[in-house]
Structure 1
């Protein structure tokens, strides 16, 4: 059953525009020239992308007190986002070994530890999560509870990107149930065509969008790589082409797209009610993701970069 709409709060000064909860790690990218270590993790990438769009962002994650953890924290801070003090742990910082396929996409091998303390929603306009953080225990259940609390109290908008990692999410029926529970608390859900194929094998894009909508979100977007994206929102189903660029690699593309959608919701809450605003948000997200895939690693653009490309 669809919940009553919750408006993005716009009065008063907010301590945090967005609370992002999820993994931050080091991507070890294999190439013919040798390994490169880059700061990554889907939620961390979203936090960076949002900060580069000019939003106040707090990242609740899990970082080791080691050189890799320090590198992650430095890059998060450089983007303008803030790492929550509760994120630090004595465990080693997590890693993901990324092997690039010929088409520029990546496959991953993870070494990750995930636990997260209770999160405060005070002064928060949006709470975002997804990826490993939603599925891997013991942190996954705590994350789900935060989403439920935000939805039940109306404290913040909830956004979600499942970003399925089959090796880490457990059995299909368990992961699907967790995704459905999280989506029931969400206002906006973004998933990739690969996520959709894993969650709902055999369903076409339109059927997936309507299936996810049945859980309760007001806006659902499915990205389709070079084929652009399709979304279900005000006015029904809308499609947008991908930005035409030379693809360097696709690491962080979906995260940049997600960050842009959240940014649009903060800038113009009408995306939940007005078809033209929703279409504009899809276009902006396509440009944001396109700029990202034209660069090496997860390196989302600034607001100025996107605005310039949209002119």
Structure 2
């Protein structure tokens, strides 16, 4: 691990700390190879910073050119890279090889471990984690310890962003997921995540099951079919915002970033139906902006505000 730890600036206060992987996505097509910043938690941190949220990222990258590119990408948006990040021998990669017929093969070269949070950092309002970081040892144990330490002081948000190729058995992955749900305030997953984890359950039943494990809010996104937000007291269906789709890269991470923004800016504490409405529409608008343009380009604060001003408020309570 990196022993060159730098002290935090005096009275440094972050609204959100994201804990999770930052990696390089390598895409190879018959026309050539391109590299892009990746890793779901890093994407969420990037999206939050673009929305004007004071955000730190606790991650691990290599002391190499790919790590340099990732750090430049993240800090360029305003993300604070927390001490210990440049701790790996090389930056992790996720490689997609696309054939001429459009079929794809995927390969992962991922190492995950992470430093503990520096005690000099005041507790943030929200801690977010998920994806590979919550499953892959040895770092997953450190992630769990951080959530255990901060759950009484922060809102904890969790998005498993399931990657079956990097998980152990289904039973092991489900057990790990449920242990982290127990430590989380808000759990967001896609319909594909829900169906992989609980193939025997309808989506609404999966949301109820997550709430029974201790989460206060369960969110399941359903692509063009919108999203479900459920609490023990009520549930709300938010339609997707109609928009021309260029590609869906980064849509789920943009949704998550805007959901966290909504948690930070909600008018009152708790999850009354009016709050669920605000959270769902904010997140849906951010995802719509992202899918309307190529690549993982989440909205800025100004873009999201403009989108929300022109968005009809359509919802269904139960």
Q: Take 2:103 and 2:179, find their aligned partners in 1: how far apart are those partners?
A: 29
Alignment match of 2:212 (pick from 211, 214, 218) = 214
Q: Take 1:39 and 1:180, find their aligned partners in 2: how far apart are those partners?
A: 29
Query: Which structure is larger by alpha-carbon Rg, 1 or 2?
Result: 2
Match of 1:147 in 2: 147
Moved over 6 A (4+): 104-107
CA apart distance, 1:242: 1.2
Matched, 1:199 2:197: yes
Question: Contact conserved, 1:272 with 1:278, CA < 8 A, in 2?
Answer: no
CA apart distance, 1:101: 10
Q: Take 1:226 and 1:100, find their aligned partners in 2: how far apart are those partners?
A: 25
Q: Take 2:148 and 2:112, find their aligned partners in 1: how far apart are those partners?
A: 20
Question: Contact conserved, 1:251 with 1:293, CA < 8 A, in 2?
Answer: yes
SS of the residue aligned with 2:32?
coil
Question: Contact conserved, 2:211 with 2:218, CA < 8 A, in 1?
Answer: yes
Cα 1:276–1:308, aligned 2, differ >3 Å: closer, same or farther? same
SS of the residue aligned with 1:296?
coil
CA apart distance, 1:107: 7.4
Structure with the larger RCO, 1 or 2 (CA within 8 Å, 6+ apart)? 1
Query: What is the TM-score when the length of structure 2 is the normalising length?
Result: 0.88
Question: Contact conserved, 1:106 with 1:251, CA < 8 A, in 2?
Answer: no
Matches of residues 148-167 of structure 1 in structure 2 within 5 Å? Answer: 148-151=148-151, 154-167=152-165
Q: Take 1:258 and 1:51, find their aligned partners in 2: how far apart are those partners?
A: 13
Matches of residues 233-272 of structure 1 in structure 2 within 5 Å? Answer: 233=231, 236-268=234-266, 270=268, 272=270
Match of 1:9 in 2: none
Match of 2:174 in 1: 176
Match of 2:37 in 1: 39
Cα 1:98–1:269, aligned 2, differ >3 Å: closer, same or farther? farther
Q: Take 1:216 and 1:183, find their aligned partners in 2: how far apart are those partners?
A: 7
Query: What is the TM-score when the length of structure 1 is the normalising length?
Result: 0.90
- Count, aligned residues: 296
Question: Contact conserved, 1:271 with 1:281, CA < 8 A, in 2?
Answer: no
Matches of residues 1-311 of structure 1 in structure 2 within 5 Å? Answer: 15-31=13-29, 33-98=31-96, 108-120=106-118, 122-151=122-151, 154-233=152-231, 236-268=234-266, 270=268, 272-311=270-309
User: Structure 1 stretch 116-125 or stretch 67-76: which is displaced more?
Assistant: 116-125
Offset from partner CA, 1:147-180 (integer Å, 9 cap, x none): 11112xx221100000010011211111111111
CA apart distance, 1:246: 2.2
Q: Take 1:137 and 1:145, find their aligned partners in 2: how far apart are those partners?
A: 13
Question: Contact conserved, 2:211 with 2:231, CA < 8 A, in 1?
Answer: no
Question: Contact conserved, 2:266 with 2:278, CA < 8 A, in 1?
Answer: no
Question: Contact conserved, 1:233 with 1:272, CA < 8 A, in 2?
Answer: no
